[in-house]
Chain A
Amino acid sequence: MMKSSLLFILTILVLILAACGASAGNDSLEISDVWARPGLADGNGAVYFLIDNSTGEEDTLISASSDIAQAVEIHISMMDGEVMQMKPQHEVSIPVGKTEFKPGGLHVMLIGLHDDLNTGDNFQITLKFQTAGEEILEVTVKKP
């Protein structure tokens, strides 16, 4: 009885701290609509999201990481006439306003998935920004 109520209080405390942590973090670089498409183990995947930078200053995305895959890189798909090219990006400038990572454009590439990604799965990736620092994103696997 004692133990379970102590556990309850601790849980509440952790939740409150987590909520404080989240709101005390950089709340002016908002990242939303974080999703990935289903994928196969040993295959690749892509993560998409929307960054809303209302810090008043340009920031730079310098890396992405996750333990869901062997490697994680930032890529861009772009058309050159009729030809689709994909290019790794060492950094991506995030100007004030909205920057969208979306199919056929900027995306975080997951290389060598450890397991299948199925609709409804969740996992985390970490984005590192020059100014805002690290942002941990909760990714939902879904069909677009």
Chain B
Amino acid sequence: MTRKLFRQIVNGLIIVLVVFAGFYFLAQPYAFQGSLIEPPLPTADFSLKQADGKNFRLSDQQGKLVLLYFGYTFCPDVCPTTLYDLARAKERLGENASEIQVLMITVDPERDAPDQLEKYVTTFDPSFIGLTGDITELESIWSDFGVYRKKNETNGASGYLVDHTSRVYVIDRNGNLRLTFPFGMEFEAMADDLAYLLDSE
């Protein structure tokens, strides 16, 4: 008899606990896995020529989430790793993938010709856009986004390498900088953050 009562009490406690845990988790706001920019920062608009001669203007993208990366085609390791992860994150969004635009702006305009950039970025996803421009245009964009970029001469066959900020900038549908993704962030985590941003706005 007492054993039965004890079991009933335990069962009751378990139910109460599960219900509370449910409320607790439901009440939690979404925790971004990238670094949240709070409040969102308006981005400075820019316009650069694409390989096909058309102008790409950031403000024309409003309504889409723009993932902006600064890299260079000569970079064999970190840039392809990042672009591949962005492609996988985008793919994971399924039918919402069309609401994402991935951009790579070069940090190496000397070596990155427009058609070469386009060929490079589209190997990861046909929708990716690679952009270059003249050095003054690029310098002003780098500075607007706080991008550090430095050429380092090497004695080897690579000629020079470029140190650069490795974060991905997430610009929301209203043109505000909302999030950044650090290098090495799992693509599943990026996709979760992007799906939340797409749903919540």
**Using a CB–CB distance below 8 Å, which chain A residues touch chain B?**
37-40, 43-46, 70-71, 73, 75, 77, 79-80, 82-88, 103-104, 107, 109-112, 143-144
Of the candidates B76, B81, B155, which one forms a contact with A109 in the assembled complex, judged by CB atoms under 8 Å apart? B76
**Using a CB–CB distance below 8 Å, which chain B residues touch chain A?**
73-78, 80-81, 84, 119-120, 123, 148, 150, 152, 154-158, 161, 163-167, 183-184
Contact check, A87 vs B161: say whether CB atoms are below 8 A apart.
Answer: yes
Residues of B within 8 A of A71 (CB): 156-158
Contact check, B74 vs A82: say whether CB atoms are below 8 A apart.
Answer: no
Of the candidates A70, A107, A144, which one forms a contact with B76 in the assembled complex, judged by CB atoms under 8 Å apart? A107
Residues of B within 8 A of A112 (CB): 157
Q: Can you show 21 pairs from A to B with CB atoms below 8 A apart?
A: A37-B80, A38-B123, A39-B76, A44-B74, A46-B76, A71-B156, A71-B158, A73-B158, A75-B158, A79-B166, A82-B166, A82-B167, A84-B164, A85-B152, A86-B77, A87-B161, A88-B155, A104-B77, A104-B184, A112-B157, A144-B84
Distance of A85 Cα from B155 Cα, bound (Å): 16
Contact check, B76 vs A110: say whether CB atoms are below 8 A apart.
Answer: yes
Known contacts A40-B123, A104-B77, A84 near B157 by CB under 8 Å: no
Closest 6 CB pairs of A and B: A71-B157, A84-B166, A44-B76, A46-B76, A103-B81, A85-B163
Q: Chain B's nearest CB lies how many Å from the CB of A109?
A: 5
Contact check, B157 vs A73: say whether CB atoms are below 8 A apart.
Answer: yes
Q: A39-B76, A77-B78, A103-B81 are in contact. List 17 more A-B contacts (CB 8 A).
A: A37-B80, A38-B123, A43-B120, A46-B77, A71-B156, A75-B77, A77-B77, A83-B163, A83-B164, A86-B161, A86-B163, A88-B154, A88-B156, A103-B78, A109-B76, A109-B158, A143-B84
Residues of B within 8 A of A43 (CB): 73-74, 120
Residues of B within 8 A of A143 (CB): 84
Interface centre among B76, B156, B165, B166 (most CB of A within 10 A): B76
Contact check, B157 vs A82: say whether CB atoms are below 8 A apart.
Answer: no
Distance of A79 Cα from B78 Cα, bound (Å): 10
